[in-house]
Structure 1
Amino acid sequence: MASFLRATLRSQLKVGTKNSYSQTCRLFSTSQSRLRIDIMTGEPTALPDIESSQLKIHKNPNPKNPPKSSSLVFGHTFTDHMISIPWNALSGWNTPTIIPYGPLSLDPSCTVLHYAQTVFEGMKAYRDENNKVTMFRPDMNMKRMNRSAARISLPTFNGDEMLEIIKTLVKLDSHWIPQEPGHSLYIRPTMIGTQRALGVAPPTEALLFVICSPVGPYYKNGFKPVRLLATSNFIRAAPGGTGGYKLGANYAPGVVPQVLAAKQGYDQNLWLIGDEHYLTEVGTMNLLVVFKHPDGTTELTTPPLEDLILPGVTRDSILALARDHESGKARIPGLPDNLKVSERHVKMAEVKAAAESGNLLEAFGAGTAAIVCPVKAIGYQGKDINIPVGDEGMGPVCKAILDQIVARQMGTVESDWSVVVTEGTKGSLKGPNPVA
């Protein structure tokens, strides 16, 4: 099998010279997770993929009552059920099951514990005023998870089939979705290498599981603009690295810089790269900056991905909405008529100069947890760069974009981005009684 995979990679790479290292990794992982060699004929055969039609459901015999929404702390409460799908290199993806939520049993030598072979996603399900449950652009999460898995030689899977299984889980535990505005069900798909062996290599065993957690609004008492510390002595990502992938290994190294920033009175790190101090990301969010130019143009900018920056679903949604406004395809109330949308490199020197001249209008982070996160100051080279946030705690561009995304998430604006899990009916939205 190893010789076949090597031959496959060589043939793929001979097609052209523009294949990057990450493309090579994706080729290798796709071959590894979807093919096996028949020991009798020596020919490659397809391994079984995930199939939603094979799903088995084992309901929790001791279901819990959801807690009061007011008591929710992000990521601390979990629903009654979870998805579990094992994989191995000989038989491919095994039967998908929904089982009672509970601990995993892992061997102390398994690869995830030693070499951080793990990828994950973050997505949400929402309940609208008519009790309809929807998910926001979940297909993008499945594509990104496959891309991340391929980068570290974890097995890939059929995203459409996996999404159907996740929808079944959400439907089963839909009574856990809070009814109050701004609340949702956070969904965490995760894949880990479970091979019981020491040594860095593509794992021969893996586990894909999904857990769910009811969550309240990121800002319970209205938006709180954050202060960022521009950080260059630590870096989040480098060219040829893994910054553009949602790997568990990318997050732990950011804890110490975050703690150091907090000690200086800042909420998050603004990750810089290179001697020119180019902007990349904010904490674990994408970053957008709004400039005013001498010709009267308002420019919404965000750094290009270039495998350094995670391709955020919220980032992509913001750019799509803003570009539709820019082109005149779908005008958005609150956005400037002369808006220009750019993916380009931005230096801290440009941000500083724009602030000093009054041409720095807004800055905000974007991600699944908060949707948007307004920025009111950036600490840079010992001084704060102040950024307008407006009376509502955010600038007009940020506010207009947020309203449009929330409208699509909650179903008040029809959109292909909204994927229906259960159709609603008007009337009472109450499920089981919450725990007092």
Structure 2
Amino acid sequence: MAFSNSRPLLFSAVRGLSASPASYLVRRSWQQRLPKFCSASTLAQAEPEGAQLSAANISIEKTAAPKEKLPPSKLVFGHTFTDHMVQIPWNATDGWLTPKILPYQNLSLDPATCVFHYAFECFEGMKAYKDSKGSVRLFRPDKNMDRMNRTAARICLPTFDHEAFIKIIAELVKLDSDWIPSERGYSLYIRPTLIGTQASLGVGPPQSALLYVIMSPVGPYYPTGFKAVKLEATDYAIRAWPKGVGDRKLGANYAPAILPQQMAASRGYQQNLWLFGDEGYITEVGTMNMFLVFKQPDGKLELVTAPLDGTILEGVTRDSILGLARERFDKDKWVISERKATIREVADHATAGTLVEAFGSGTAAVVSPIKEISWRDQPISVPLQPGKETGPVAEQMAKWIAEIQYGEVEHPWSVLLE
């Protein structure tokens, strides 16, 4: 593969959204007769009501009973949680209330709480890492906060100042930093969550909400090295559709995908490759973004991923892979494409011997190599490197991103916590 060794460029931060209660924004949009499909980012530019989220007045209560920590080798993703959590209430009258760092604890919610009945819930997934000096780093937290704001606005939950929320998360991470394993490949998974808390069976914008954060130490996704997976191309169920909410990180997007995944597993496949439309457009793989590598007739290599058309999540890892590819790949030998690709195109490339590689991307695994795709009961074989469970691009991207995450290469994506 032809990779360039050019030095990393500085990447500009994604523009944040103003802190505005979404319930007010939606009412205002109706009053102003905005277009029917007004974007969430447009809505989030309206004037805020109540207090904005602030990191200046954090209340911290340390636990009196620290938990026993498991050895890193015993960690299971999302099963072990740190000693503390963040809770920040919001209501339509007062805005954001005092952020609190508390001992990890259960939530007490009325059975009529709207999150249970109408799915007023969104979340993010991000990680903290320890570098070789023991310092703690976050990876591109601005991207996660920007996406969470846009998701919240879409479902009438309050938005927030994302720089303030990053500071609050940083305080939580620093307090529980001894939960981050020092071994390479380990990290602290951070789950910011926002729920509607109004106790009412009426359908409407919630007048109260809770923003909270919990954290879980996690090990490497592939503890013994890459393990390429087999996919089942799925068109009998649709994960997302244009002008829907498949591009938002809503809990409601995940439960409907479990049954098709179980059905694929019963036939020997680890995940679904989600197709859309009669054309069989490739969207996502499981809960990850999808990448393909084709060899073009002129000999150039093309890295392909689906465009941001509303049918895929705007993945932070996806964006990182595209940014690194455009910066570091040899421009005379590579084409980087955000375009629609069909399962037929993949099959035709496989037949012609010009399908080079396929992999998924996401926070948990960074990259997940693919070795086979079943389409209409016929296998499409995806090449791997000799003696390895990965293709060269997935392997290179995993290395480059890990170097940034663990501070081995200085880069603006890696945020050092002071």
TM-score for both structures, normalised by structure 2:
0.91
Contact 2:294 2:354 in 1 (8 A): yes
Of 32, 52, 56, 2:55 maps to 52
Contact 2:124 2:148 in 1 (8 A): yes
The equivalences for 1:154-303 within 5 A come to 154-303=157-306
The corresponding residue for 1:408 is: 404
In the alignment, residue 209 of structure 1 is paired with which amino acid? Y
Does residue 350 in structure 1 map to residue 345 in structure 2?
Answer: yes
- Structure with larger Rg: 1
Corresponding residue SS for 2:390 = coil
- Following superposition, the deviation at residue 64 of structure 1 comes to 1.6
The corresponding residue for 1:91 is: 94
- Following superposition, the deviation at residue 130 of structure 1 comes to 0.8
Contact 1:262 1:268 in 2 (8 A): yes
Contact 1:189 1:210 in 2 (8 A): yes
In the alignment, residue 406 of structure 1 is paired with which amino acid? A
- Following superposition, the deviation at residue 311 of structure 1 comes to 0.3
**Residues 5 and 388 (structure 1 numbering): CA distance in 2 closer, same or farther, change over 3 Å?**
closer
The equivalences for 1:322-361 within 5 A come to 322-326=325-329, 338-361=333-356
CA shift digits 1:215-250 (9 cap, x unpaired): 000011111000000000100001111100000000
- Following superposition, the deviation at residue 26 of structure 1 comes to 4.8
The corresponding residue for 2:37 is: 21
In the alignment, residue 389 of structure 1 is paired with which amino acid? L
Corresponding residue SS for 1:288 = strand
Deviates more, 1:175-184 or 1:57-66: 57-66
- Following superposition, the deviation at residue 3 of structure 1 comes to 9.9
CA shift digits 1:104-151 (9 cap, x unpaired): 001000000011110000000000111111000001000000010011
Of 374, 388, 399, 2:369 maps to 374
Does residue 398 in structure 1 map to residue 391 in structure 2?
Answer: no
Does residue 147 in structure 1 map to residue 130 in structure 2?
Answer: no
Contact 2:44 2:150 in 1 (8 A): no
Structure 1: which 5+ residue stretches go unaligned?
14-18, 36-45, 329-336, 423-436
Corresponding residue SS for 1:401 = helix
**Residues 61 and 418 (structure 1 numbering): CA distance in 2 closer, same or farther, change over 3 Å?**
same
**Residues 222 and 57 (structure 1 numbering): CA distance in 2 closer, same or farther, change over 3 Å?**
same
Structure 2: which 5+ residue stretches go unaligned?
1-20
Rounded to whole Å, the distance in 2 between the matches of 1:115 and 1:166 is 27
In the alignment, residue 189 of structure 1 is paired with which amino acid? P
Contact 1:235 1:273 in 2 (8 A): yes
Rounded to whole Å, the distance in 1 between the matches of 2:129 and 2:24 is 48
Rounded to whole Å, the distance in 1 between the matches of 2:191 and 2:270 is 24
Rounded to whole Å, the distance in 2 between the matches of 1:209 and 1:128 is 26
Does residue 304 in structure 1 map to residue 330 in structure 2?
Answer: no
RMSD after superposition: 1.8
Deviation beyond 4 Å, 4+ runs, structure 1: 1-10, 25-31
The corresponding residue for 2:138 is: 135
Aligned residue pairs, count: 396
Rounded to whole Å, the distance in 1 between the matches of 2:33 and 2:215 is 39
Contact 1:63 1:80 in 2 (8 A): yes
Corresponding residue SS for 1:287 = strand
Rounded to whole Å, the distance in 2 between the matches of 1:287 and 1:216 is 23
- Following superposition, the deviation at residue 182 of structure 1 comes to 0.3
Rounded to whole Å, the distance in 2 between the matches of 1:326 and 1:369 is 24
Corresponding residue SS for 1:260 = helix
- Following superposition, the deviation at residue 291 of structure 1 comes to 0.2
Contact 1:378 1:384 in 2 (8 A): yes
- Following superposition, the deviation at residue 72 of structure 1 comes to 0.2
TM-score for both structures, normalised by structure 1:
0.88
- Following superposition, the deviation at residue 8 of structure 1 comes to 4.8
Rounded to whole Å, the distance in 2 between the matches of 1:262 and 1:340 is 34
CA shift digits 1:45-76 (9 cap, x unpaired): x3101100011100011112321001000000
- Following superposition, the deviation at residue 293 of structure 1 comes to 1.1
Contact 1:26 1:153 in 2 (8 A): no
In the alignment, residue 371 of structure 2 is paired with which amino acid? K
Contact 2:25 2:43 in 1 (8 A): no
Corresponding residue SS for 2:298 = coil
- Following superposition, the deviation at residue 308 of structure 1 comes to 1.3
Corresponding residue SS for 1:83 = strand
Corresponding residue SS for 1:389 = coil
